[in-house]
Amino acid sequence: MSTYDLIVIGAGPGGYVCAIRAAQLGLKVACVEGRETLGGTCLNVGCIPSKALLHASHMLHESHENFAKMGLMNAHVDVDWSQMQSYKAETVGTNTKGIEFLFKKNKIDWIKGWAEIEGAGKVKVGDTTYETRNIVIATGSEPSALKGVEVDNAGGVVVDSTGALVLPNIPKSMVVIGAGVIGLELGSVYARLGAEVTVVEFLDFITPGMDGEVQKQFQKILTKQGLKFVLGAAVSGVTTDNGTAKVTYKLRKDDSEHVIDADCVLVATGRRPYVAGLGLDKLGVEMTERGFVKVNDHWQTSVKGIYAIGDAVPGPMLAHKAEDEGMAVAEVVAGKHGHVNYNVIPGVIYTTPEVASVGLTEEAAKDSGRKIKVGKFPFMGNARAKALFQADGFVKMIVDAETDRVLGCHIIGPNAGEMIHEVCVAMEFGAAAEDIALTCHAHPTCSEAVREAALACGSGAIHV
Ligand code: FAD
Ligand code: NAI
């Protein structure tokens, strides 16, 4: 059997991108994937199916809330849940097939099955051991378990994100445990589809790690959309009986115990790295205390010739972070210089409005001891956002008070997930807020709000 230059384990956004880049650089590459389809968590049970449901449910919400306001009368839209599921499955299918096409185009061998690393340079799949000069672990993550709560995705009552994407029907009521990204995206989907959604969160605020002002505004907007929040609440258990569930939680402020009934419970309390079956203990691959694969600045593990990327290593669990690491490690393996700028990784929540951020929050910038300036611009002063009925949010730019250099940006508003990239590019180029303020922005666009926030860091925004 011929020897590979690189075997990538896992075909999620980290692994498949790594395999493609390595093949483009002239390496002989194979990628092992145990799932039936390529694309990993992201394409199969993560980013893509959740965005399909967010889009479909947003359309429904528009028809209920905004069509009549625009003179589009008598829109009566019924939900055909099974058709919505088909649309979602088709969206996933075309994308996973697309990766298969890219593998063929780049002459990457897809080794089907679950991999075990027998030693440096040896990957076993089924009864076959493949020889390779380098191995990249890109095995991703799985939902973390919550004590006292048993997830049963097939049952459809107590589910994690994977189960929540394929519920047998739209529940009348749903309790979401965890006000993080998954809880709020999927909670929004079911709220728009008519479920009464209550989000129970351990902390006293939603979306930990985000800018404080954004957290507050986001919670306000979601509350207006019908989501209920119970904050500062530790869930102690979930019981089920005859297709319904009872969620018990204790309020941290006074230790009082409460119970909520629901048709469905979504457990969304974080994800943990997935490395089961790889045999890393035997190989002596060092792990972090939290179970991630330990890597150096070049994504090399403690065992020579074995690298790791994506959700399996520390850092934000995001598809684009995994992809960037995939490209960079391919360059390293090919003897070039791969690089990822961890200071400029955007984060987006795909609710309506979207929430997007990059760089330092106001709190983190202050904590770092810098003198900062904050420029804020409300979408209320943006014509396009008002026409879209999405003027509740704002753009907030954080800059260094001495150099005017952009340190971070936080947007809650229409298409925030697209708009944030202008700031990412600016940050990559070490731009000042003035550079953005002096750049002509087309009118009428939501992006004008980014420019206005940059102007607000200097002599002032115009439309306030
Ligand atoms: P994964 O995508 O998890 O892929 C790992 C692959 O490795 C899997 O296919 C697995 O089957 C395979 N594998 C594991 N072990 C083995 C083995 N031993 N042998 C062979 N194959 C193996 N991120 C975003 O940036 N944007 C979003 O909008 C977004 N939405 C999300 C929504 C949901 C509901 C979820 C759950 C996640 C979402 N994420 C999102 C996170 C994103 O999916 C992950 O960050 C990303 O998939 C990580 O990529 P990865 O390549 O590291 O691993
Ligand atoms: P998360 O880490 O974003 O949020 C989990 C939330 O659950 C936190 O607010 C936490 O305080 C809370 N929590 C933990 N234990 C709890 C308990 N016992 N009771 C009540 N609340 C509790 O994790 P989530 O939402 O599961 O997402 C996992 C990962 O997937 C994230 O790291 C995220 O980056 C990624 N993802 C990204 C998306 C995007 O980029 N749009 C979409 C979905 C997921």
Closest CA to 271 of 163, 162, 145: 145
Q: Which residues of the chain have pLDDT under 50?
A: none
The domain that holds 437 is classified in CATH as 3.30.390.30
CB 263 within 8 A of CB 164: no
Q: What is the CATH number of the domain that holds 201?
A: 3.50.50.60
**Which of 16, 109, 139, 185 gets mutated to test ligand 1 (max ligand atoms within 8 A of its CB)?**
139
Question: Are both 112 and 230 inside the same structural domain?
Answer: no
Query: Given this model, what pLDDT does residue 314 score?
Result: 98
Ligand 1 pocket test: pick from 17, 31, 33, 47 the residue with the most ligand atoms within 8 Å of its Cβ: 47
226 lines ligand 1 (CB under 6 A): no
Q: Tell me the sheet residues that pair with 406.
A: 399
Number of alpha carbons in the 13 Å side-chain half-sphere of residue 139? 22
CA-CA distance, 332 to 6, in Å (whole number)? 12
What pLDDT shows up at residue 75?
A: 87
Report pLDDT digits (tens) over 203-224: 999 999 999 999 999 999 999 9
Establish whether this prediction's ipTM goes over 0.90: yes
Determine whether the shortest distance from the Cβ of 187 to ligand 2 is under 6 A. no
What's the Cα-to-Cα distance from 227 to each of 39, 194, 266, 407, rounded to whole Å? Answer: 32, 11, 14, 32
* Same domain (yes/no): 170, 232: yes
In a domain, 341, yes or no: no
Q: How far, in Å, is the centroid of ligand 2 from the Cα of 143? A: 9
Q: Do 295 and 371 have their domain in common?
A: no
C-alpha 46 – ligand 1 centre gap (Å): 7
Q: DSSP assignment, residue 3?
A: P
Which of 333, 358, 375 is the last residue before a domain boundary?
333
Q: Do residues 211 and 396 make contact, with C-beta atoms less than 8 angstroms apart?
A: yes
Measured N-to-C along each axis, helices 81-105 and 47-65 cross at an angle, to the nearest 10 degrees, of 140
Domain span at residue 227 reads: 158-269
What secondary structure does DSSP assign to 432-460, as a single string? Answer: BHHHHHTS---TT-TTHHHHHHHHHTTT-
Instruction: Please indicate, yes or no, if residue 340 is contained in any of the structural domains.
Output: no
Could you tell me if 185 and 139 lie in one domain? no
Report whether residue 349 contacts ligand 2, using a CB cutoff of 6 Å.
yes
pTM check: above 0.80: yes
Domain contains 464: no
Which ligand 1 atom is nearest residue 13's CA? 51
Ligand 2 in reach of 318 Cβ (< 6 A): yes
CA 319 to chain centre: 7
Q: Note whether 16 and 120 are same-domain residues.
A: yes
- Asked whether residue 249 is assigned to any structural domain, the reply reads yes
CA-nearest of 138, 384, 161 to 269 is 161
Specify whether 443 is catalytic. yes
The reply to whether 427 and 318 lie within a common domain is no
246 with 209, same domain: the answer is yes
Q: Are residues 292 and 431 in the same domain?
A: no
DSSP-derived pairing of the beta strands 141-143 and 271-273: antiparallel
| Residues 192 and 80 reside in one and the same domain | no
User: Do 126 and 16 belong to one domain?
Assistant: yes
Whether 229 and 197 share a structural domain:
yes
Closest residue by Cα to atom 8, ligand 1, is 40
> Does the CB atom of residue 208 touch ligand 2 within 6 A?
yes
Q: 277 and 258: one domain?
A: no
User: Which ligand is nearest the CA of 321, by number?
Assistant: 1
Radius of gyration of the chain (CA): 23
Number of domains in the chain: 3
SS3 content of the chain, % helix, strand, coil (to 5): 35, 25, 40
Residue 1 has a pLDDT of 58
